[in-house]
Amino acid sequence: MAEKRDYYEVLGVQKGCSNDELKKAYRKLAKQYHPDMNPGDKTAEAKFKEVNEAYEVLSDEQKRARYDQFGHAGVDPSYGAGGAGAGGFGGAGGFGFDMGDIFDSFFGGFGGGFGGSTRTRNPNAPIRGNDVNITIGLSFMEAAKGTKEKVTIQRLEKCDSCSGSGAKAGTTAETCSDCGGTGQVRVQQRTPIGVIQTTRTCPKCNGKGKITKEPCPDCRGMGRVRKTRTLEVSVPAGIDDGQTFVLRGQGDQGLNGGPAGDVNIMVTIRPDPLFERDGFDVWCDIPVTYTQAVLGDEIVVPTIDGKVKYNVPEGTQSGTVFRLRNKGIQYVNGKGRGDQYVKVNIEVPRNLSTKQKDALKEFEKLATDKNYEKRKSFFDKLKDAMK
Protein backbone atom coordinates (compact mmCIF):
# COMPACT_ATOMS: atom_id res chain seq x y z
CA MET A 1 0.00 0.00 0.00
CA ALA A 2 1.37 3.43 -0.98
CA GLU A 3 2.08 5.73 1.93
CA LYS A 4 -0.70 8.29 2.28
CA ARG A 5 0.06 11.95 2.67
CA ASP A 6 -1.15 13.84 5.69
CA TYR A 7 -4.68 15.11 4.97
CA TYR A 8 -3.89 18.61 6.26
CA GLU A 9 -0.87 18.70 3.93
CA VAL A 10 -3.04 17.56 1.01
CA LEU A 11 -5.43 20.49 1.51
CA GLY A 12 -2.68 22.95 2.41
CA VAL A 13 -4.17 23.92 5.79
CA GLN A 14 -2.93 23.84 9.36
CA LYS A 15 -4.17 21.35 11.94
CA GLY A 16 -6.88 23.06 13.98
CA CYS A 17 -8.04 25.24 11.08
CA SER A 18 -11.66 26.38 11.01
CA ASN A 19 -14.35 24.73 8.88
CA ASP A 20 -14.48 27.83 6.67
CA GLU A 21 -10.73 27.68 6.03
CA LEU A 22 -11.04 23.96 5.27
CA LYS A 23 -13.91 24.47 2.85
CA LYS A 24 -12.16 27.37 1.09
CA ALA A 25 -9.00 25.31 0.58
CA TYR A 26 -10.99 22.33 -0.68
CA ARG A 27 -13.01 24.35 -3.19
CA LYS A 28 -9.84 25.90 -4.62
CA LEU A 29 -8.09 22.54 -5.08
CA ALA A 30 -11.24 20.75 -6.30
CA LYS A 31 -11.55 23.32 -9.09
CA GLN A 32 -7.83 23.13 -9.89
CA TYR A 33 -7.75 19.35 -10.30
CA HIS A 34 -11.32 18.70 -11.47
CA PRO A 35 -11.41 16.22 -14.40
CA ASP A 36 -13.52 18.63 -16.44
CA MET A 37 -10.71 21.18 -16.20
CA ASN A 38 -7.97 18.60 -16.89
CA PRO A 39 -9.32 16.14 -19.48
CA GLY A 40 -7.12 13.06 -19.83
CA ASP A 41 -4.68 14.18 -17.11
CA LYS A 42 -4.16 11.14 -14.87
CA THR A 43 -2.03 13.08 -12.39
CA ALA A 44 -4.77 15.70 -11.92
CA GLU A 45 -7.33 12.91 -11.56
CA ALA A 46 -5.29 11.29 -8.80
CA LYS A 47 -4.87 14.66 -7.06
CA PHE A 48 -8.62 15.28 -7.31
CA LYS A 49 -9.35 11.94 -5.63
CA GLU A 50 -6.76 12.63 -2.93
CA VAL A 51 -8.25 16.07 -2.21
CA ASN A 52 -11.78 14.64 -1.98
CA GLU A 53 -10.64 11.87 0.36
CA ALA A 54 -8.92 14.37 2.65
CA TYR A 55 -11.94 16.68 2.72
CA GLU A 56 -14.35 13.80 3.35
CA VAL A 57 -12.49 12.98 6.56
CA LEU A 58 -11.61 16.46 7.83
CA SER A 59 -15.05 17.95 7.13
CA ASP A 60 -16.67 15.32 9.37
CA GLU A 61 -16.26 16.31 13.02
CA GLN A 62 -16.08 12.75 14.35
CA LYS A 63 -13.76 11.48 11.62
CA ARG A 64 -11.52 14.49 12.05
CA ALA A 65 -11.22 13.83 15.79
CA ARG A 66 -10.26 10.20 15.14
CA TYR A 67 -7.77 11.25 12.48
CA ASP A 68 -6.17 13.86 14.76
CA GLN A 69 -5.71 11.20 17.46
CA PHE A 70 -4.85 8.07 15.47
CA GLY A 71 -3.87 9.31 12.00
CA HIS A 72 -4.93 7.31 8.95
CA ALA A 73 -5.46 4.20 11.06
CA GLY A 74 -8.29 5.96 12.86
CA VAL A 75 -10.36 6.48 9.69
CA ASP A 76 -9.22 3.71 7.35
CA PRO A 77 -9.57 0.13 8.67
CA SER A 78 -7.32 -1.22 5.93
CA TYR A 79 -4.48 1.21 6.55
CA GLY A 80 -1.49 -0.65 7.93
CA ALA A 81 -3.66 -3.61 8.92
CA GLY A 82 -3.24 -6.00 6.04
CA GLY A 83 -6.48 -5.27 4.20
CA ALA A 84 -10.17 -5.08 4.91
CA GLY A 85 -10.34 -8.44 6.64
CA ALA A 86 -7.82 -7.65 9.34
CA GLY A 87 -8.78 -6.25 12.69
CA GLY A 88 -12.51 -6.96 12.61
CA PHE A 89 -13.64 -3.34 12.16
CA GLY A 90 -17.33 -2.53 12.00
CA GLY A 91 -18.43 -0.26 14.84
CA ALA A 92 -19.28 3.40 15.26
CA GLY A 93 -19.03 5.40 12.06
CA GLY A 94 -18.41 2.24 10.06
CA PHE A 95 -15.51 0.91 12.19
CA GLY A 96 -15.69 -2.06 14.55
CA PHE A 97 -14.00 -0.58 17.58
CA ASP A 98 -15.65 1.60 20.18
CA MET A 99 -13.63 4.30 21.88
CA GLY A 100 -15.43 3.57 25.14
CA ASP A 101 -14.32 -0.05 24.92
CA ILE A 102 -10.74 1.04 24.35
CA PHE A 103 -10.80 3.26 27.43
CA ASP A 104 -12.43 0.47 29.43
CA SER A 105 -9.63 -1.89 28.48
CA PHE A 106 -7.04 0.65 29.62
CA PHE A 107 -8.71 1.83 32.81
CA GLY A 108 -10.59 -1.29 33.79
CA GLY A 109 -14.03 0.24 33.53
CA PHE A 110 -14.00 1.77 37.00
CA GLY A 111 -16.97 3.97 36.16
CA GLY A 112 -19.29 1.34 37.63
CA GLY A 113 -18.14 1.93 41.19
CA PHE A 114 -17.26 -0.61 43.84
CA GLY A 115 -18.85 -4.01 43.41
CA GLY A 116 -20.71 -2.73 40.34
CA SER A 117 -20.19 -2.97 36.59
CA THR A 118 -19.70 -0.48 33.81
CA ARG A 119 -22.26 0.19 31.13
CA THR A 120 -20.74 -0.20 27.67
CA ARG A 121 -22.03 0.17 24.16
CA ASN A 122 -23.88 -2.84 22.76
CA PRO A 123 -21.78 -3.97 19.76
CA ASN A 124 -24.85 -5.54 18.20
CA ALA A 125 -26.95 -2.37 18.34
CA PRO A 126 -28.02 -0.82 15.01
CA ILE A 127 -25.32 1.46 13.54
CA ARG A 128 -25.92 4.01 10.80
CA GLY A 129 -23.84 3.64 7.64
CA ASN A 130 -21.25 6.19 6.59
CA ASP A 131 -22.02 9.03 4.21
CA VAL A 132 -20.50 9.06 0.73
CA ASN A 133 -19.11 12.40 -0.50
CA ILE A 134 -18.67 13.18 -4.19
CA THR A 135 -18.23 16.27 -6.39
CA ILE A 136 -19.84 16.98 -9.75
CA GLY A 137 -19.15 19.74 -12.27
CA LEU A 138 -21.98 21.73 -13.88
CA SER A 139 -22.25 24.49 -16.44
CA PHE A 140 -23.62 27.88 -15.36
CA MET A 141 -26.97 27.20 -17.03
CA GLU A 142 -27.31 23.68 -15.58
CA ALA A 143 -26.89 25.08 -12.10
CA ALA A 144 -29.24 28.00 -12.74
CA LYS A 145 -32.04 26.00 -14.34
CA GLY A 146 -31.57 22.60 -12.66
CA THR A 147 -30.73 19.38 -14.44
CA LYS A 148 -30.57 15.61 -14.14
CA GLU A 149 -27.16 14.00 -13.81
CA LYS A 150 -25.89 10.45 -13.57
CA VAL A 151 -23.32 10.00 -10.83
CA THR A 152 -21.18 7.00 -10.04
CA ILE A 153 -20.44 6.17 -6.41
CA GLN A 154 -18.84 3.40 -4.41
CA ARG A 155 -20.67 2.28 -1.31
CA LEU A 156 -20.79 -0.62 1.13
CA GLU A 157 -23.70 -2.98 0.59
CA LYS A 158 -24.82 -6.25 2.13
CA CYS A 159 -22.76 -9.18 0.89
CA ASP A 160 -24.94 -11.37 -1.30
CA SER A 161 -22.86 -14.48 -0.66
CA CYS A 162 -23.49 -14.54 3.11
CA SER A 163 -26.60 -12.31 3.26
CA GLY A 164 -24.67 -9.97 5.53
CA SER A 165 -23.88 -12.54 8.24
CA GLY A 166 -20.14 -12.57 7.55
CA ALA A 167 -20.11 -16.40 7.72
CA LYS A 168 -19.24 -18.66 4.83
CA ALA A 169 -22.27 -20.02 2.97
CA GLY A 170 -23.58 -23.14 4.71
CA THR A 171 -22.09 -22.15 8.07
CA THR A 172 -23.24 -19.98 10.96
CA ALA A 173 -21.53 -17.97 13.63
CA GLU A 174 -21.18 -19.75 16.98
CA THR A 175 -22.01 -18.32 20.39
CA CYS A 176 -18.87 -17.17 22.17
CA SER A 177 -18.02 -19.62 24.94
CA ASP A 178 -16.26 -17.00 27.08
CA CYS A 179 -19.11 -14.49 27.36
CA GLY A 180 -22.08 -16.74 26.58
CA GLY A 181 -23.15 -14.45 23.75
CA THR A 182 -23.40 -11.26 25.81
CA GLY A 183 -20.23 -9.71 24.44
CA GLN A 184 -19.19 -8.76 27.97
CA VAL A 185 -17.12 -10.52 30.62
CA ARG A 186 -16.97 -9.71 34.34
CA VAL A 187 -13.61 -9.30 36.02
CA GLN A 188 -13.07 -9.23 39.78
CA GLN A 189 -10.07 -7.60 41.40
CA ARG A 190 -9.16 -7.86 45.07
CA THR A 191 -7.92 -4.63 46.61
CA PRO A 192 -7.14 -3.54 50.16
CA ILE A 193 -10.58 -1.90 50.29
CA GLY A 194 -12.50 -4.90 48.97
CA VAL A 195 -13.41 -6.65 45.75
CA ILE A 196 -13.97 -4.46 42.70
CA GLN A 197 -16.03 -5.98 39.91
CA THR A 198 -15.83 -4.54 36.42
CA THR A 199 -17.36 -5.43 33.08
CA ARG A 200 -15.20 -5.43 29.97
CA THR A 201 -15.63 -6.19 26.31
CA CYS A 202 -15.06 -9.87 25.69
CA PRO A 203 -11.58 -10.17 24.13
CA LYS A 204 -12.40 -13.44 22.39
CA CYS A 205 -15.32 -12.17 20.28
CA ASN A 206 -14.54 -8.42 20.45
CA GLY A 207 -17.91 -7.81 22.08
CA LYS A 208 -20.05 -9.34 19.34
CA GLY A 209 -21.12 -12.38 21.34
CA LYS A 210 -20.50 -14.63 18.36
CA ILE A 211 -17.45 -16.06 16.64
CA THR A 212 -17.27 -16.71 12.92
CA LYS A 213 -14.90 -19.63 12.45
CA GLU A 214 -15.30 -19.71 8.67
CA PRO A 215 -15.56 -16.15 7.34
CA CYS A 216 -17.24 -15.47 4.01
CA PRO A 217 -14.47 -15.31 1.38
CA ASP A 218 -16.19 -12.51 -0.54
CA CYS A 219 -16.53 -10.02 2.31
CA ARG A 220 -13.87 -11.51 4.62
CA GLY A 221 -16.36 -11.78 7.42
CA MET A 222 -17.41 -8.12 7.31
CA GLY A 223 -20.92 -8.79 6.00
CA ARG A 224 -20.59 -5.88 3.54
CA VAL A 225 -18.77 -5.40 0.25
CA ARG A 226 -17.95 -2.26 -1.69
CA LYS A 227 -19.91 -1.93 -4.92
CA THR A 228 -20.02 0.66 -7.70
CA ARG A 229 -23.45 2.13 -8.41
CA THR A 230 -24.71 4.69 -10.92
CA LEU A 231 -27.53 6.92 -9.68
CA GLU A 232 -29.62 9.49 -11.52
CA VAL A 233 -29.98 12.64 -9.45
CA SER A 234 -32.05 15.78 -9.86
CA VAL A 235 -29.89 18.86 -9.31
CA PRO A 236 -32.06 21.62 -7.79
CA ALA A 237 -32.37 24.81 -9.81
CA GLY A 238 -30.42 27.71 -8.33
CA ILE A 239 -27.68 25.72 -6.62
CA ASP A 240 -24.46 27.70 -6.26
CA ASP A 241 -20.79 26.85 -6.57
CA GLY A 242 -19.53 24.95 -3.52
CA GLN A 243 -23.01 24.07 -2.24
CA THR A 244 -24.02 20.50 -1.42
CA PHE A 245 -27.28 18.64 -1.83
CA VAL A 246 -28.09 15.26 -0.30
CA LEU A 247 -29.45 11.92 -1.46
CA ARG A 248 -30.94 10.43 1.68
CA GLY A 249 -30.30 6.77 2.39
CA GLN A 250 -28.07 6.17 -0.65
CA GLY A 251 -24.75 5.90 1.21
CA ASP A 252 -23.12 2.94 2.95
CA GLN A 253 -25.51 0.34 4.33
CA GLY A 254 -25.81 0.35 8.10
CA LEU A 255 -24.80 -2.44 10.45
CA ASN A 256 -27.07 -4.63 12.54
CA GLY A 257 -30.14 -3.27 10.83
CA GLY A 258 -29.07 0.36 11.17
CA PRO A 259 -30.11 2.91 8.51
CA ALA A 260 -27.97 3.63 5.46
CA GLY A 261 -25.89 6.79 5.24
CA ASP A 262 -26.44 9.58 2.72
CA VAL A 263 -24.71 10.70 -0.46
CA ASN A 264 -23.50 14.30 -0.19
CA ILE A 265 -23.01 15.85 -3.63
CA MET A 266 -20.93 19.00 -3.80
CA VAL A 267 -21.28 21.19 -6.90
CA THR A 268 -18.58 23.05 -8.80
CA ILE A 269 -19.73 25.43 -11.55
CA ARG A 270 -17.74 26.22 -14.67
CA PRO A 271 -17.44 29.91 -15.64
CA ASP A 272 -19.87 31.23 -18.27
CA PRO A 273 -18.72 33.47 -21.15
CA LEU A 274 -21.71 35.85 -20.78
CA PHE A 275 -23.01 35.70 -17.21
CA GLU A 276 -21.56 36.12 -13.76
CA ARG A 277 -23.44 35.18 -10.61
CA ASP A 278 -23.72 37.22 -7.41
CA GLY A 279 -25.90 35.34 -4.95
CA PHE A 280 -29.18 34.90 -6.82
CA ASP A 281 -28.52 37.91 -9.08
CA VAL A 282 -26.94 37.71 -12.53
CA TRP A 283 -24.60 40.25 -14.10
CA CYS A 284 -23.58 40.72 -17.72
CA ASP A 285 -21.80 43.40 -19.77
CA ILE A 286 -23.36 44.74 -22.97
CA PRO A 287 -21.32 46.68 -25.56
CA VAL A 288 -23.18 49.52 -27.32
CA THR A 289 -21.98 51.86 -30.03
CA TYR A 290 -21.17 55.52 -29.49
CA THR A 291 -24.22 56.50 -31.54
CA GLN A 292 -26.56 54.18 -29.63
CA ALA A 293 -25.40 55.70 -26.34
CA VAL A 294 -25.77 59.28 -27.60
CA LEU A 295 -29.13 58.94 -29.36
CA GLY A 296 -30.63 56.03 -27.44
CA ASP A 297 -31.68 52.76 -29.05
CA GLU A 298 -33.49 49.47 -28.55
CA ILE A 299 -30.96 46.70 -27.90
CA VAL A 300 -31.18 42.93 -27.37
CA VAL A 301 -30.05 41.65 -23.98
CA PRO A 302 -29.33 37.96 -23.22
CA THR A 303 -30.83 36.47 -20.05
CA ILE A 304 -30.85 32.94 -18.65
CA ASP A 305 -34.40 32.64 -20.00
CA GLY A 306 -33.54 33.88 -23.50
CA LYS A 307 -33.22 37.25 -25.24
CA VAL A 308 -35.20 40.35 -24.23
CA LYS A 309 -35.39 43.86 -25.64
CA TYR A 310 -34.39 46.96 -23.70
CA ASN A 311 -34.52 50.65 -24.59
CA VAL A 312 -31.20 52.37 -23.85
CA PRO A 313 -32.09 55.98 -23.02
CA GLU A 314 -30.53 58.92 -24.86
CA GLY A 315 -27.25 60.10 -23.34
CA THR A 316 -26.42 56.82 -21.59
CA GLN A 317 -22.93 56.92 -20.07
CA SER A 318 -20.38 54.10 -20.14
CA GLY A 319 -20.62 52.03 -16.94
CA THR A 320 -24.35 52.68 -16.49
CA VAL A 321 -26.11 49.68 -14.89
CA PHE A 322 -29.77 48.90 -15.43
CA ARG A 323 -31.82 46.16 -13.77
CA LEU A 324 -34.14 43.51 -15.19
CA ARG A 325 -36.39 42.43 -12.35
CA ASN A 326 -36.95 38.71 -11.73
CA LYS A 327 -34.55 37.71 -14.49
CA GLY A 328 -31.96 36.26 -12.16
CA ILE A 329 -31.47 32.86 -10.45
CA GLN A 330 -34.36 30.96 -8.89
CA TYR A 331 -34.16 30.61 -5.11
CA VAL A 332 -33.23 27.03 -4.19
CA ASN A 333 -36.29 25.15 -2.92
CA GLY A 334 -38.19 28.39 -2.60
CA LYS A 335 -40.35 30.89 -4.45
CA GLY A 336 -39.06 33.92 -6.30
CA ARG A 337 -35.80 34.69 -8.00
CA GLY A 338 -33.10 37.31 -8.19
CA ASP A 339 -32.62 40.11 -10.74
CA GLN A 340 -30.32 40.61 -13.69
CA TYR A 341 -28.01 43.61 -13.80
CA VAL A 342 -26.73 44.81 -17.17
CA LYS A 343 -23.68 47.05 -17.37
CA VAL A 344 -23.35 49.25 -20.45
CA ASN A 345 -19.91 49.54 -22.04
CA ILE A 346 -19.65 52.15 -24.80
CA GLU A 347 -17.32 50.97 -27.54
CA VAL A 348 -15.24 53.79 -29.00
CA PRO A 349 -15.02 53.33 -32.79
CA ARG A 350 -11.66 52.54 -34.37
CA ASN A 351 -10.23 52.45 -37.90
CA LEU A 352 -12.27 55.48 -39.00
CA SER A 353 -12.21 56.67 -42.61
CA THR A 354 -11.33 60.25 -43.49
CA LYS A 355 -14.97 61.01 -44.11
CA GLN A 356 -15.95 59.65 -40.70
CA LYS A 357 -13.24 61.64 -38.97
CA ASP A 358 -14.30 64.85 -40.74
CA ALA A 359 -17.91 64.24 -39.68
CA LEU A 360 -16.84 63.84 -36.05
CA LYS A 361 -14.73 66.98 -36.18
CA GLU A 362 -17.69 68.91 -37.56
CA PHE A 363 -19.86 67.49 -34.78
CA GLU A 364 -17.30 68.53 -32.16
CA LYS A 365 -17.33 72.11 -33.45
CA LEU A 366 -21.05 72.24 -32.78
CA ALA A 367 -20.74 70.79 -29.25
CA THR A 368 -20.84 73.06 -26.18
CA ASP A 369 -20.24 72.66 -22.46
CA LYS A 370 -23.93 71.83 -22.18
CA ASN A 371 -23.22 68.60 -24.05
CA TYR A 372 -20.32 67.63 -21.75
CA GLU A 373 -21.42 68.28 -18.18
CA LYS A 374 -18.78 66.04 -16.56
CA ARG A 375 -15.94 67.70 -18.48
CA LYS A 376 -17.21 71.18 -17.60
CA SER A 377 -17.47 70.23 -13.93
CA PHE A 378 -13.94 68.80 -13.96
CA PHE A 379 -12.34 71.92 -15.42
CA ASP A 380 -14.31 74.18 -13.08
CA LYS A 381 -12.85 72.24 -10.14
CA LEU A 382 -9.40 72.37 -11.71
CA LYS A 383 -9.58 76.16 -12.01
CA ASP A 384 -10.55 76.47 -8.33
CA ALA A 385 -7.69 74.18 -7.32
CA MET A 386 -5.10 76.16 -9.29
CA LYS A 387 -6.03 79.57 -7.86
DSSP structure string for 25-90: HHHHHHHHH-TTTSTT-HHHHHHHHHHHHHHHHHTSHHHHHHHHHHGGGGT-TTTTTTSTTSS---
Mean pLDDT of 5-18: 90
Q: Tell whether residue 179 is among the known ligand binding residues.
A: yes
Cα–Cα distances (Å) from 167 to 119, 162, 218, 257, in that order, read: 29, 6, 10, 17
pLDDT at residue number 103: 40
Angstrom distance (rounded) from CA 204 to CA 164: 21
List pLDDT tens digits, range 327-341.
Answer: 999 998 778 999 999
Q: Tell whether residue 17 is among the known ligand binding residues.
A: no
73 versus 263: the higher-pLDDT residue is 263
The percent of residues above 90 in pLDDT, for the chain, comes to 45
Q: Tell whether residue 284 is among the known ligand binding residues.
A: no
pLDDT at residue number 97: 38
The residue type at 71: G
Q: Say if CB 44 and CB 35 are below 8 A apart.
A: yes
Among 28-42, 97-111, 150-164, which stretch is predicted with the lowest mean pLDDT? 97-111
With CA atoms as reference, report the closest residue to 117 among 181, 189, 211: 189
Mean pLDDT of 349-357: 93
List pLDDT tens digits, range 276-335.
Answer: 999 999 999 999 999 999 999 999 999 999 999 999 999 999 999 999 999 999 998 778
CA-based end-to-end distance of the chain:
80
List pLDDT tens digits, range 88-119.
Answer: 333 333 333 344 443 444 444 443 433 344 45
In this model, does residue 346 exceed pLDDT 50?
Answer: yes
In this model, does residue 381 exceed pLDDT 80?
Answer: no
In this model, does residue 67 exceed pLDDT 90?
Answer: no
Angstrom distance (rounded) from CA 292 to CA 301: 14
> pLDDT band at 69, cuts 50/70/90?
confident
Domains and CATH numbers, the chain: 1-76 (1.10.287.110), 130-161+222-270 (2.60.260.20), 272-350 (2.60.260.20), 356-387 (no CATH)
Q: Which residues contact 359 (CB under 8 A, 6 or more apart)?
A: none
| DSSP per residue, 170-215 | T--PEEPTTTTTSSEEEEEEEETTEEEEEEEE-TTTTTSSEE-SSB
pLDDT at residue number 94: 38
pLDDT at residue number 121: 61
With CA atoms as reference, report the closest residue to 261 among 270, 272, 251, 271: 251
- Look at the pTM and tell me if it is higher than 0.85: no
Cα–Cα distances (Å) from 91 to 13, 124, 191, in that order, read: 29, 9, 34
pLDDT at residue number 79: 56
Angstrom distance (rounded) from CA 154 to CA 224: 12
CA contacts within 13 A on the Cβ side of 363: 9
> pLDDT band at 208, cuts 50/70/90?
confident
C-alpha angle 362-366-369 in degrees, rounded to nearest 5: 135
Work out whether strand 276-278 and strand 281-289 pair parallel, antiparallel, or are unpaired.
Answer: antiparallel
> pLDDT band at 198, cuts 50/70/90?
confident
